[in-house]
C-alpha cells in the first residue's frame, strides 16, 4: 500500500482509485500497478517521476482514453468507462486545428457536444482574454508562438466546462521562461475556475511549486511511491522556490526517486 | 508552415531597384534569344521548314486566331474535354481515396492493385479504351479520367490516413463521434494535400486530352497540331503549341489561386481574409 500523509474521507474525493492497475501487451508491460488515492475537490496534484513511471498512463486512465486492467477508478463517485464531459485533458503539444482561428479552436469542445450559441462565443472570447490573448481572438495557430498556442489550448480546456483538468506536461516543449510564466498563470486560473487539477511533469521543482499534493512515481513497474503534501497556500509567488522549506521538499522527493533522477 | 513574406529586396539608392533591373535583364535575354532564332533562320542556318522563324509564327497566330479564326472551335473542344475529364477523374480519385483511406480492410486488399496500376503507364491503355467505347467524346474523356485520377486518389488516401495521432486523441477525449472526427478533423486536415493532387491532375488532364486527340484526330488542339505538322505548316503548329503553353500557365495560376482560397490557412493573405470574415460573423464578443 501507499504511504499517505493524510487519508481524506471518501465523500470528499473527486477522483478516487483503489488498487488501480494497467498492463500492456497482455500483462507483459506493467505501466501502472496498485495505485490508490483520493483527490480532494479543488486541489492541485502533480504527478512527477522519470519516463516509464506510469504518470501519463494514470492521466489517460482518468481521462477514459484507455481501459484499466485492475482495480477501481471513480470521478465524482462514478466509475470511469469512457471519455466524459466533466473531465478535460490538455496535451504536451497544443494540438490546435490549423484551419481554425483561436476562438474557433476554443469553441471545438462545445461544437462536439451541441450547437454553438452567441453566449458560447462570448465565453470562448472571455477565456482567451483570461489566458492573455485578447488581441488574438481571430489569429490562426501558425501565427502564434508555441507559448501562445498552449494558452489557446488551455482556454479550450476550460471551455469544456470540466471541473477535473488533466494536464500532460502541457508546457514541457516550451522554453524555461515561458514555462515559468505559464505555470504562475495556470495556478491563478485553476483557482479562479475552482477546478481540480492533475498535472504531469518530470520537473521536481515545478511539481512542488504548483501542487497541494505531489504523487512521486517510480518506474518498472510504474507506481505511486509516495504522496507528498505541500503545505504552502496557493497561488504562491515564484520566490517561494528559494525558501528552505521548499528545498527540503525538493530533497525529499529527490530522495524517493533515487540516484538515477 | 506559414508562408512568410519574401525578404525585402535591398533598394538601390538613386538607381533602379534590384527587381526592376532583374526584369530588364530577363526581357533582354528573352528578346535576344528570339532575335538569334530569327537571324539564324534568315541566314539559312536553321531550316525554316522545320524551325519556322518567330516572325512567321507570329503571323500564324494572327491567321489561326483572327483571319481564319479556326483555332477557337478546337480550343473550346479541348477545354471542354479537359474539364470533363478532370472533374470526372477528381471525383473518382477523391472519392475512392477517401473510401480506401477510411477502411483499413479495403486498403489492405486493394494495395497490390494500386501498386500495379501505378507502375503501368496509364496512357498505354488509351487504344483499348477507344476499342471499348468507340470513337467520340466518351472514349477521350475516359482516357483523361484515367490519366488524372491517380494523383487525387493517392493524395486523398495519404491525407486521410496520416491524421495526427495527438489530434485524434484530443477528439477522443472530447467524446467526438466518428462522423464529427471525420468532418471536423480528418477532411479539413487532408485539404491541402488533396489540392496538391488536384494541381497534378489538371496538368495531367491537359496532356491526356492531347494524346486522346492525337489518336482520334477529328477535332481539338491536339488534332490541329497533328494536321499542321503533317502538312508541314510548322509555323501554325508552333502557334498551337505556344497557345498550349499559355493555357498551361493560366491553368497553373488558376489552380494556385483556387488552392490559396481553399487551403486558406497555408498563406497569410488567406488567413487575413478568413479572420476578417469570422470576426464579422461573430460580431461583438464582449461580455
Of B176, B188, B279, the CB nearest to A138: B279
**Is the pTM here over 0.80, yes or no?**
yes
User: Are the C-beta atoms of B208 and B143 separated by less than 8 Å?
Assistant: yes
**Contact assignment for B170 to A95 by CB distance below 8 Å:** yes
Q: Find the CATH number of the domain harbouring A237.
A: 3.40.50.300
pLDDT for res B136? 85
pLDDT tens per residue, range B82-103? 999 999 999 999 999 988 888 8
Q: Chunk chain A into consecutive blocks of 10 residues (it has 261) and report each block's average pLDDT, rounded to whole numbers.
A: 44 88 88 93 94 90 93 93 91 93 97 94 94 94 94 95 93 88 91 93 93 93 92 89 93 84 52
Report if residue A68 sits inside a domain. Answer: yes
Determine phi and psi for A200, rounding to 5 degrees. Answer: -90, 135
Report if residue A92 sits inside a domain. Answer: no
Average pLDDT, chain B: 89
pLDDT for res A108? 97
C-alpha distance from B261 to closest chain A C-alpha (Å):
12
Residue numbers of A between 158 and 177 with CB closer than 8 Å to B: 160
A58: domain range? 1-86+198-261
Report if residue A192 sits inside a domain. Answer: no
Return the domain boundaries, chain B.
Answer: 18-46, 63-265
pLDDT for res B90? 96
Q: How many structural domains does chain A have?
A: 1
Contacts of A10 (CB under 8 A, 6+ apart): A16, A38
Contacts of B118 (CB under 8 A, 6+ apart): B150, B154
Of A89, A111, A126, the CB nearest to B287: A126
- pLDDT (mean) for B252-260: 93
Report if residue A59 sits inside a domain. Answer: yes
Nearest C-alpha in A relative to B177: A112
According to DSSP, residue B223 is labeled H
Interface predicted TM-score (ipTM) over 0.90: no
pLDDT for res A104? 97
User: A1-15, B61-75, B108-122: which range is least confident on average?
Assistant: A1-15
Determine phi and psi for A15, rounding to 5 degrees. Answer: -120, 125
**Contact assignment for A160 to B174 by CB distance below 8 Å:** yes
Report if residue A30 sits inside a domain. Answer: yes
To the question of domain B63-265 being in CATH 1.10.3720.10, the answer is yes
Band of the pLDDT at B7, cuts 50, 70, 90?
low
**Contact assignment for A112 to B265 by CB distance below 8 Å:** no
Amino acid at each position: 500500500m501507499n504511504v499517505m500523509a493524510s487519508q481524506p474521507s471518501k465523500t470528499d474525493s473527486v477522483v478516487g482509485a483503489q488498487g488501480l492497475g494497467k498492463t500492456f501487451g497482455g500483462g507483459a508491460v506493467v505501466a501502472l500497478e496498485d495505485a490508490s488515492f483520493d483527490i480532494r475537490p479543488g486541489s492541485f496534484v502533480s504527478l512527477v517521476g522519470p519516463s516509464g513511471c506510469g504518470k501519463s498512463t494514470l492521466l489517460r486512465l482518468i481521462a477514459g482514453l484507455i481501459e484499466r486492467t485492475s482495480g477501481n477508478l471513480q470521478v465524482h463517485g462514478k466509475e470511469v468507462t469512457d471519455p466524459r464531459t466533466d473531465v478535460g485533458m490538455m496535451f504536451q503539444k497544443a494540438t490546435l486545428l490549423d484551419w481554425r482561428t483561436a476562438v474557433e479552436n476554443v469553441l471545438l469542445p462545445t461544437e462536439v457536444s451541441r450547437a454553438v450559441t452567441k453566449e458560447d462565443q462570448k465565453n470562448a472570447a472571455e477565456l482567451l482574454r483570461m489566458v492573455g490573448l485578447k488581441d488574438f481572438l481571430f489569429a490562426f495557430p501558425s501565427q502564434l508562438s508555441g507559448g501562445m498556442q498552449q494558452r489557446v489550448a488551455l482556454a479550450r480546456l476550460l471551455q469544456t466546462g470540466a471541473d477535473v483538468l488533466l494536464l500532460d506536461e502541457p508546457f514541457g516543449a516550451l522554453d524555461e521562461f515561458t514555462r515559468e510564466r505559464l505555470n504562475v498563470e495556470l495556478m491563478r486560473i485553476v483557482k479562479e475556475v475552482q477546478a481540480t487539477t492533475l498535472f504531469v511533469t518530470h520537473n521536481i521543482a515545478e511539481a512542488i511549486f504548483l501542487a497541494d499534493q505531489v504523487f512521486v512515481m517510480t518506474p518498472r513497474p510504474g507506481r505511486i511511491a509516495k504522496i507528498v503534501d505541500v503545505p504552502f497556500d496557493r497561488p504562491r509567488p515564484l520566490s517561494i522556490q528559494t525558501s528552505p522549506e521548499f528545498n527540503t521538499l525538493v530533497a525529499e522527493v529527490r530522495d524517493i526517486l533515487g540516484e538515477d533522477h | 508552415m506559414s508562408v512568410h513574406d519574401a525578404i525585402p529586396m535591398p533598394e538601390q539608392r538613386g538607381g533602379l531597384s534590384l527587381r526592376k533591373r532583374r526584369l530588364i535583364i530577363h526581357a533582354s535575354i528573352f528578346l535576344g534569344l528570339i532575335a538569334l532564332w530569327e537571324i539564324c533562320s534568315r541566314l539559312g542556318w536553321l531550316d525554316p521548314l522545320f524551325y519556322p522563324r518567330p516572325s512567321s509564327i507570329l503571323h500564324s497566330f494572327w491567321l489561326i486566331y483572327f483571319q481564319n479564326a479556326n483555332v477557337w472551335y478546337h480550343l473550346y473542344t479541348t477545354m471542354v474535354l479537359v474539364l470533363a475529364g478532370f472533374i470526372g477523374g477528381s471525383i473518382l480519385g477523391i472519392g475512392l481515396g477517401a473510401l480506401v483511406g477510411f477502411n483499413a480492410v479495403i486498403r489492405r486488399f486493394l494495395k497490390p492493385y494500386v501498386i500495379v496500376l501505378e507502375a503501368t503507364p496509364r496512357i498505354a491503355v488509351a487504344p483499348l479504351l477507344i476499342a471499348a467505347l468507340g470513337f467520340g467524346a466518351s472514349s477521350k474523356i475516359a482516357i483523361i479520367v484515367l490519366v488524372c485520377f491517380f494523383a487525387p486518389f493517392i493524395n486523398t488516401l495519404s491525407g486521410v490516413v496520416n491524421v495526427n495521432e495527438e489530434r485524434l486523441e484530443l477528439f477522443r477525449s472530447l467524446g467526438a463521434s466518428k462522423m464529427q472526427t471525420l468532418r471536423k478533423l480528418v477532411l479539413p486536415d487532408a485539404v491541402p494535400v488533396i489540392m496538391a493532387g488536384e494541381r497534378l491532375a489538371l496538368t495531367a488532364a491537359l496532356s491526356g486530352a492531347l494524346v486522346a486527340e492525337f489518336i482520334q484526330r477529328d477535332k481539338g488542339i491536339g488534332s490541329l497540331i497533328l494536321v499542321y505538322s503533317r502538312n508541314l505548316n510548322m509555323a501554325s503548329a508552333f502557334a498551337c503549341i505556344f497557345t498550349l503553353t499559355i493555357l498551361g500557365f493560366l491553368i497553373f495560376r488558376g489552380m494556385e489561386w483556387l488552392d490559396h482560397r481553399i487551403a486558406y490557412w497555408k498563406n497569410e493573405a488567406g488567413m487575413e481574409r478568413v479572420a476578417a470574415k469570422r470576426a464579422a460573423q461573430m460580431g461583438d464578443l464582449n461580455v
